[in-house]
Structures are given as C-alpha cells and as structure tokens.
Amino acid sequence: MNVTSQIKQPIQQEMELFEKKFYESMTSKVALLNRITYYIVNRKGKQMRPMFVFLVAKMISENSEVNERTYRGASVIELIHTATLVHDDVVDDSNRRRGFFSINALWKNKIAVLVGDYLLSKGLLLSIDNGDFDLLQIISVAVREMSEGELLQIEKARRLDIVEDVYYEIIRKKTATLIASCCALGAKSVSEDAALVEKMRLFGELIGMAFQIKDDLFDYTDDAIGKPTGIDIKEQKMTLPLIYALNNCSSKEKSWCINSIKNHNKDKKRVREVIQFVKDKNGLTYAEQKMVQFQQEALSLLHDFPNSPYKDSLTIMVNYVIDRKK
C-alpha cells in the first residue's frame, strides 16, 4: 500500500463522499466551464489538503465525527487551491500540471484566468450561502497571504537581496498558509475552542514550512522528480540552501554567484557550478536541519491528543512531507 492510501485509510468514506460533493460544487450552466471543470476533477492530485481537513476534524471531535461544515470546508479549500493552481500556471507560463496539460495550454490564458476567478467565487459563495462565515474568514486570510507571498517573492527575486527571515515570511505566506488553513478549518468545523483551532493552524503552518524547504532541496538533487534540477536558479528564485551559501561565503564568491544567477541562468554549465557551490557551502545540510526542526515542532503538537487512527495518519503525513521523492 502506498503512503497516500495508508494516510487516507481511516477517512476513506469521507474522501469518497467529498469527491462527489466537490464535483457538485463546481457545476455551472455554461457548457465550456463544465468541460473545463470536468477536466480539472479528473486530473486531481494527491488531495492532501482535504485529507488534512478530515483527519484533523476526526482527531479532535467527539466520537470522531465530521459534519456538513467539514465537507463544505474541504470543498472550499480545494476550490480555492485549484483556482490558485490555474492562475499559477498562467503566471509561470507553464504548460504542464500534474503530468497533464495545464488549463492555459489547452484553453489559452484569458479562459484560464476566468476559470480561476470562477472557482474562487464558487468557493466563497459555498461558505456564504451556508452561513459559514467563521470558515470563510480562515480561507480569506489564506488567499490574501498567498497573493502577498507570491508578490513578495517576485519583488525580492529582482534584487536577490533576500535574508533568511524574509525567506521564511515568503514561504509561510506562499505555501504554509494554505495547509495551516486546512488544519484550522478542520478544527473549526467541529469545535468552538479557539485555542485548539489555533494549535491546529500552527500545526499546519509548520508542516507547510517543512514542505516548501523539501521542495527547495529537490532543486539540488538529480532524482527523477516533478521538476528538473536547477530550475529555481534559472528562475532566480531564492531558496534556503542558496541563501545560506550566500551568507556564508566571501564577497568575491557572493558576487560571482549573484552574477551567475542574474546574467547566466540559461547557461547549463554555470547553473551546475552554482549548484555545486551551494553544496560545498553546506547549504543543503543547513536546509535539511531546518526542515527537520519544523517537522519535529509539528509532531510535538500532536503529543497531547489521544491515540487514534487519525492521529497516526497525521503523523505519517508529517513524515511523508520530508521523506517524499517528489
């Protein structure tokens, strides 16, 4: 049994019902939209986000039960996540997503932007129509932070003047905030305990931070993964291994490295040299230590909860984040 199936096992029924509800939440009277949303549903990813919602809700609720709010919360998160992916592909001018053609590759940018907007509005309305204003607030904060994180990254990439604290702020907003809101939503859908909801939000944030650092590390490995080696360097993205290397080298080395990234990022040999430079400066070792630190902090937040299949699945999930191969 693969890891995803193992994690999903205690919430198998909920996930099957969720898929049905999720598809229903996307339907429209416009045939073109239905064709596109049908395509989106059928190329679904691992569905990690809804899994977080259900596992957290079942771990903390009495009798391990979820309710309609939990399903709606999971659907809203997935709608908004899908909207951001569709928009991301336009922003990054990407033709592929999860091994399939992206929406913008098949239907052009204009339609992709409109589909992303449509999914976003569907997500917001699903909460509003059912009076889930508390859940909507959690999600709206996530959308705002994700946009800010992306823009902050673009602003900093132009100048390559990023320090570690700013990097953490970028990844917290860009990646961790969505996983944090999944966990907060799961908790809020079954509990009014504000401290508990905040604890689960922090749990998700820590996992998100570890997740993004793991993604950064993939850029420096030669494994057959989802993205080719050195792509972040080519796109002038500042990753943790690179930031560490730049802060722990001579000014001459720093100038060479920044010049390589700014002016020679299309030169494969030069990109390989930058990767080697980062490795030589222990950038990967440092990033791995930080990633494990976030992972351990996340695991420590689960200690207080009684043992259950849901807690076990969340523990597997936290470990999978840093052990995964892509």
* pLDDT number for residue 58: 95
- Mean pLDDT of the region 51-74: 91
* pLDDT number for residue 156: 80
- Mean pLDDT of the region 284-313: 94
Q: What is the pLDDT of residues 215-256, one digit of tens each?
A: 888 888 765 544 456 777 777 788 899 999 999 999 999 999
pLDDT band, residue 99 (cuts 50/70/90): low
pLDDT band, residue 162 (cuts 50/70/90): confident
* pLDDT number for residue 105: 62
Query: Can you list the domains of the chain with their CATH numbers?
Result: 1-193 (1.10.600.10), 204-315 (1.10.600.10)
Is it the case that residue 97 has pLDDT exceeding 60? no
Is it the case that residue 282 has pLDDT exceeding 70? yes
Q: What is the pLDDT of residues 258-274, one digit of tens each?
A: 889 888 888 888 888 99
Pairing of strands 96-97, 100-101: antiparallel
3-17, 24-38, 151-165, range with greatest mean pLDDT: 3-17
- Mean pLDDT of the region 200-210: 96
pLDDT band, residue 322 (cuts 50/70/90): confident
